[in-house]
């Protein structure tokens, strides 16, 4: 795969540290058993095993499983996709929001694998590992934000990003339901992509609403002792105008999705989010 914009950027902070952490974990889990003859049950403790989560409450596996990989091809494909699609997303969102989105998608993929284990489509005793759930969330985000961006599949076949995501989602769903796709966690892909879609459509609005509630609660902790002259009316009006604009943008996201926002509206959301975190 090749995205037409993927090579035009350097390496942003969150993508860089995700690459480093995944490679470091892969080296540790590969070198210890082979070179030093030290066996450690990495996959049993940190891979996602639904039975362990259900009966032993090992809920950290929802997070740790996405940093384990089963071979060079496995980790190579995932990290290549992380770099190719994640770089531009991080430059648009910032490191903190990008890492949050990546992690939420990975956890969403793991949750779906766990839920499916209670049905005939899943196996509660199989360990799921890999960042594919989080990666598929990035693919969905890329397809929604730049639907007409051309991707060269296998470096040959040009395809619009949104069509690329839809085709891959359909293939994953087919293999997941039929069980004919081999030893691949297709439900993790589907869960990560679905989580990413829901997060982009509704997550920003929910996040801003929680931050607005947090600001209101913090304001109630202070008592005005100077007759209300400590803060100017213009300052309050500025915040009110900004909140009104944020609400308008959130309504637009609910109707048309986050990909419909222009650069100015994205900057307003980012400023509103930072204002909520610093007050």
- CA-nearest of 1, 21, 235, 215 to 131 is 21
Choose the catalytic residue: 69, 132, 234, 256: 132
Helices and strands per DSSP (H, E), number in the chain: 12, 3
pLDDT of residue 275: 58
* Domain ranges (residues) in the chain: 2-196, 198-278
Question: Annotated catalytic, 214?
Answer: no
pLDDT of 265 > 70? The answer is yes
171 near 136, Cβ under 8 Å?
A: no
Question: Both tokens of residue 165?
Answer: 């995501």
Could you report the per-residue pLDDT of 202-229, keeping only the tens digit for each? 866 666 666 666 666 666 554 444 444 4
pLDDT of 182 > 60? The answer is yes
pLDDT bucket at 238, cuts 50 / 70 / 90 = very low
Q: Across the chain, which distance is largest between two alpha carbons, in Å? A: 73
Which residues does 43 contact at the CB level (< 8 Å), separation at least 6? 68, 127, 129
- For residue 153, list its beta bridge partners: 157
Could you report the per-residue pLDDT of 148-180, keeping only the tens digit for each? 988 877 667 888 989 989 988 898 888 888 876
pLDDT bucket at 116, cuts 50 / 70 / 90 = very high
pLDDT of 38 > 80? The answer is no
Measured CA to CA, the distance from residue 57 to residue 59 in angstroms comes to 5
Measured CA to CA, the distance from residue 101 to residue 95 in angstroms comes to 10
Choose the catalytic residue: 5, 69, 189, 273: 189
Cα-based distances in Å from 278 to 261, 270, 271, 275: 24, 13, 11, 5
Cα-based distances in Å from 114 to 59, 119, 145, 210, 225: 11, 10, 29, 28, 54
Which position has the token pair 């089963």?
70
- CA-nearest of 204, 203, 195, 60 to 140 is 195
pLDDT of residue 274: 60
Which residues does 215 contact at the CB level (< 8 Å), separation at least 6? 276, 279
In this prediction, residues 77-89 reach a mean pLDDT of: 94
CATH class as words, domain 2-196: mainly alpha
pLDDT of 100 > 50? The answer is yes
- For residue 128, list its beta bridge partners: 48
pLDDT of 235 > 80? The answer is no
pLDDT of residue 229: 45
In this prediction, residues 94-106 reach a mean pLDDT of: 94
Provide the whole-model pTM: 0.74
Which residues does 155 contact at the CB level (< 8 Å), separation at least 6? 1, 2
Indicate the SS3 state at residue 126.
coil
In this prediction, residues 43-72 reach a mean pLDDT of: 95
């Amino acid at each position: 795969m090749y995205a037409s914009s993927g090579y035009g950027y350097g390496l942003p902070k969150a993508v860089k540290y995700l690459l480093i952490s995944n490679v470091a974990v892969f080296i540790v889990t590969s070198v210890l058993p082979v070179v030093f003859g030290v066996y450690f049950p990495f996959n049993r403790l940190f891979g996602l095993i639904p039975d362990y989560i259900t009966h032993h409450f090992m809920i950290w596996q929802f997070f740790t499983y996405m940093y384990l990989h089963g071979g060079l091809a496995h980790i190579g494909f995932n990290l290549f996709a992380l770099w190719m699609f994640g770089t531009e997303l991080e430059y648009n969102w910032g490191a903190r929001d990008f890492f949050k989105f990546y992690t939420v998608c990975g956890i969403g993929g793991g949750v779906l694998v766990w839920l499916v284990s209670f049905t005939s489509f899943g196996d509660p005793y199989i360990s799921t590992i890999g960042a594919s759930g989080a990666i598929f969330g990035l693919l969905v985000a890329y397809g929604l934000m730049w639907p007409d961006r051309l991707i060269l599949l296998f470096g040959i076949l040009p395809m619009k990003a949104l069509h690329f995501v839809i085709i891959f989602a359909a293939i994953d769903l087919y293999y997941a339901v039929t069980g004919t796709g081999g030893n691949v966690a297709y439900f993790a892909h589907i869960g990560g992509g679905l989580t990413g879609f829901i997060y982009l459509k509704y997550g920003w609005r929910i996040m801003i609403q929680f931050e607005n509630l947090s600001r209101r609660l913090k304001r109630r902790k202070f008592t005005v002792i100077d007759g209300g002259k400590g803060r100017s009316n213009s300052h309050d009006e500025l915040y009110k105008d900004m909140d009104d604009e944020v609400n308008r943008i959130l309504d637009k996201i609910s109707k048309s999705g986050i990909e419909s926002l222009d650069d100015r509206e994205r900057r307003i959301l980012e400023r509103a989010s930072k204002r909520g975190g610093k007050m």
